[in-house]
Structure 1
C-alpha cells in the first residue's frame, strides 16, 4: 500500500474517533466514489491505533482485523509458619484445562501467564507434618488483562523436639606453682549458677550438658598474680553465645605474672642505760592496705637486720615489747611513723631505735 498523506491520516483519525465514540459513521456519509479511499484510510489508521492499545470491535469487523489475544497473570505466593523449612521445599501445581504447571514455592511469589478467561486451580504436593491453606485467589477464572494473587500457607503441625547444647570448659595453668584444680570455675546464666557450677578447674575439661540456647558467663576464682585469657568458644571474652544443638569448648588459660619485688631490711637498735637488747622487741612489717603482717612477720629485732622480700607497695613498720623506751625513732628509708613505699628493686632499709635515758 502506498503511503497515506498526513492530512488524510488526520481526517481518518477523526473518523475513527467518531466511530469509537459511537457518534456517527462518517465514512458511510461520503459519496460512493470516496468510500473506498476513506475505508482504506480508516483501516490503516485504526491498525496503527490498535498497535498502540486502542481497539474497537466495530472497526475491527469493518477492517477485517483479528482482535489481539488477551492474557492474565497469576502470582502464587508461598508462606511457611511454625518451622524453619523454606518455601522452596514445597512443590506446587497450577492446573488450567489439560495443562499442568509445576514449580517450587517462593516467598516472593511465582508469576505465571495464562490466556484470558482461563479456568485454573492451584494445588500442592502433600508434605508430612504440614497443613496447607489456600487463599480465595487460588482457583477460579483469570479475567483478561488482570493479575490474581494466590497465597498458599503451610503451618507446621508436627512435634518440636527441644534442642540443647553442651559446653566443655578446659582450665590451663602456665607458670607459677598453682594447678588447674586450684581455681574454681563458675558457669552462670542470668547471673545464676547452672547445675554443677562451680567446680574445680580441670585440664581435661568440665562438661555441662543440656544447656538451652542462650548467653552464658564463665568466671573463676583462684590464686593471685595469674592473668586469665579466654579462647575457643569464649572467643576472647568470658561471655558465650551458645547456639542450639551445638557442642563447643571454652578454654581458660591462666599465666603466672609474678609481681615486682623489693627487699626491705629492718634494723633494731637499743641505746641508753638499760639491759634491754634488740631481741626484746618484736618487729612487725604490715601491709598498709590490709594492716596484716606480711609473710615472716613479726620477728625478734636484731641489730644485724631482718630482710623481707615484698611486692611493690606501701608498708608500715612497728614494734611491740614489754619494755617502754623513753624514745622510739624510725630512720633510714622509713618515714617518722614507720611508713615506707617500695617502688623499685633497690633494697630499702629502716632502722628502729629505742633510747633509754634512765636505768630501770
Structure 2
C-alpha cells in the first residue's frame, strides 16, 4: 500500500516555520538496504527502552537486524514512553522510544544530568500509526463512538452501553444494558498523551496528559495489557495502538473528526490524517504536530508517531556505532517497508531523509 504520511505530534512547542512533509513513503525512498546494513555491522549490546506502541515494530526489526548483524544484541524494554525517557536520562538506555517528543522539562533534565555531555538530545520520528478504540460488547462488532461520547465514558458521565448518546450514533445496533468498563494506561504513556489530546481537541475532555486523566477507568501497564483486559472483560473499552487490535482480533470503533463525521480506522485513513501534520525542524531535531481541525472523510484523527530519542552529541564512543547502526536500519526502506504488515504506517521519504541526516550527525 502506498501510504501518504507526514508525521505528527503535539507534545512539544510551537510550529514556527513549519512545513508539510512529502507524501512519498520511505519504502520507496533511497534508504539503507538490508545488504548495506549487514556490510557495516558493529558488535556489542544496545540497550533501549520506552514506547509500547512501537514494541511490535521494534520486536520484528530486532529479529531482522540481529539476523543480519550477528554480533549485535538489541535489548528493548517496552516499559512505556515516560519510563523509557527516564531510563535514557539515567544512562540505563542508549536511546529511548517515546510517543511524544521531549518536553521542555525533560530536555532540561537531560541537560542538568549531563546525559549528553554538554550537548542535548534529539527527537527522531520513526514509527507512525493509529490509536484504536477497542471494545468488547457481546453481540456488537461495529460501533460509531464520537470524541464527545468517548470523553463522557472516560469522565464517568456515560456508564452503560445502551446510553441514549451511544444509541443515537448507532441506530441499527442492538446495545445491551451492560455496564461500561473503561481501561486506560496506568504508566506514563505517549499513547495516553495522544489519545487524550484527540479527546481534548474534539470532545472537550481533560487536557492532554501522559498520565491519562480519568478517575473512572481501570489502569493497567502497557498497551498489551490494555488489549488483554479489553479482550477478557465483557463491556470493556480501551485504547491501544492499531497493531494490538489486529494482533488480538479485537473490535475497534469508527471515531469522529472535527466535522462530527465518523471515520473508519484503516492504515490509509490514518496516513491521510498524518499527512496534514506540521513539521518543525531545528538542526537534527524534528518535531511534528497534528491538525485536529482537518476533517476530510478519509482521514482518521486518533493517531500518533513514536520518536527515538538519542544524544545529538556526547554519546559513549563504544555505543555510538551500535546506536547509529540500529537507528539507520529501522529508518531504512527495508525496515520501513515492513510497517504496513505490522499494523503501522511507513515514514514519508522526506522524513526518512531527515532522519538519515540526523543519525549521521550523532557523535
TM-score by length of 1: 0.17
TM-score by length of 2: 0.17
Larger fraction in strand: 1
